[in-house]
Amino acid sequence: EPEVTQTPSHQVTQMGQEVILRCVPISNHLYFYWYRQILGQKVEFLVSFYNNEISEKSEIFDDQFSVERPDGSNFTLKIRSTKLEDSAMYFCASRQGKTEAFFGQGTRLTVV
Residues that bind other proteins (CB under 8 A): 31, 33, 35, 41-45, 48, 50, 55-56, 89, 91, 93, 95, 97-106, 108
Least Å distance between CB 80 and other proteins? 22
How many Cβ atoms are within 10 Å of 5's Cβ, its own excluded? 14
Whichever of 42 and 71 has its CB closer to other proteins, that residue is 42
Whichever of 20 and 43 has its CB closer to other proteins, that residue is 43
- DSSP bridge partners of 53: 50
Nearest to 35 by CA among 110, 111, 106, 112: 106
Whichever of 35 and 75 has its CB closer to other proteins, that residue is 35
Least Å distance between CB 81 and other proteins? 25
